[in-house]
Amino acid sequence: MIYVNDKRQDLKTTNNVAGKEYKTAMDYFNTIGFPITFKVKPSVLSRNEDEHGHVYMIMPTYYIHHTALVNTEYGTELWKYTSIPPYEKDGILNWGQEGKNVAYNKKRLTFDKNQADLAFFLWFKSKIFRTIYDLDDAKAEATNKVKAEMDAMKLKMLFFGENSLLNTDNEKLATIARAYNVPRVDTMTDEQRLIALYKVIETLINKKNLTVDEFVESLSLDVLTELSAKIQKAHDLNQILFDEKQHSWFYVNEGGTIGNKIVQVPISKIDSKYPYLRDVLKANQRDLDTFNAHVVDGDRNVLKIDFDNLENLSWMDEVVPYCQAVGIQLVKPGRKKADVFADIRKTQ
């Protein structure tokens, strides 16, 4: 039984605050599944050693009142849990002693559904209890592990199943690969595209940036997926480029020069610069029309560079834009300009 300011609360209704909170708590507990188990925090345990040198951890005894002072927007409330209702004598409400200084000295505590009100009080109202115990969500962990395993199998079937769409429709495979920003798809075999796309999707799922179900939805080639693929293809064909220094997308003119800026990408969005450009284009029809008019099949917008005079060209204005457009790595520790020039000459 739960009392608030000495008034018993009806937990079977949501007409009061306690009832609403209890329902929310029960939804949570039911998701995990009864019995609910709490486990002691490792930091609470004390190290001990027996006469044979065996080390073990012991649980000290904590005495917890089944009362809690709870702050609200209107002040404070005194919450109590008791299995024995109080009785009134001479106009004074008398509480039983069973809720005072209850000893908690077990490493694991388990509550059945008929003890749900006590579990609710301890976990959601008693601050001292939560400093000692954590919820042992083993069932939820097991459920998540099983789901992850099933998602992994589902993902492999999507890619490598004998009749899978990605394994039988080469054109769709290329489109989906571009949509997830696999670079230079046209230079790959179907097998290479499949492996490259699988690695990208697996990484996104592991980082929780994508779910298997969301990936499945994208296979239907909705508008956003097709636009994402078109952006990647335009980048591969050097019709657009991303300038790392200015954090901006630019058009590449027919003569190979850098044209108008499309959009500047906020620093916080650099890692998702392709989706950012897609969302900008999708949100503004005029910008999308300009993009569609600029992007054509073929390689008419390839950046030009003087292969015979690389060492004398402007590094920032000519060399860097070309490298960014064709995917050549710039200088870094252990990589000199001479290495960059050598890679550029391989693209002739």
pLDDT computed for residue 149 by the predictor = 84
Annotate 196-227 with DSSP letters as a single string.
HHHHHHHHHHHTTS--HHHHHHHTT--HHHHH
Between the alpha carbon of residue 16 and those of residues 12, 70, 114, 123, the distances in Å are: 10, 16, 21, 19
Report which residue type is found at 154: K
**Digit-coded pLDDT (tens) for 208-218:** 888 888 888 88
- Using N-to-C axis directions, what is the helix angle for 17-32 and 138-160, rounded to 10°? 60
Looking at residue 303, the DSSP 8-state letter turns out to be: P
Q: What's the rounded mean pLDDT across residues 145-166?
A: 84
pLDDT computed for residue 150 by the predictor = 82
Under a CB-based contact definition with an 8 Å cutoff, are residues 238 and 296 in contact? no
Identify the residue with better confidence: 136 or 73: 136
**Digit-coded pLDDT (tens) for 283-304:** 888 888 889 888 865 444 456 7
Q: What is the mean pLDDT of the chain?
A: 86
**Distance (Å, whole) CA 230 – CA 205:** 23
| Entry pTM | 0.48
* Distance linking the first and last C-alpha atoms of the chain: 81
Residue 37 has pLDDT above 60, yes or no: yes
**Distance (Å, whole) CA 197 – CA 5:** 60
SS3 7: strand
Taking alpha carbons only, the member of 61, 67, 39 closest to residue 130 is 39
Under a CB-based contact definition with an 8 Å cutoff, are residues 62 and 128 in contact? yes
Under a CB-based contact definition with an 8 Å cutoff, are residues 21 and 92 in contact? no
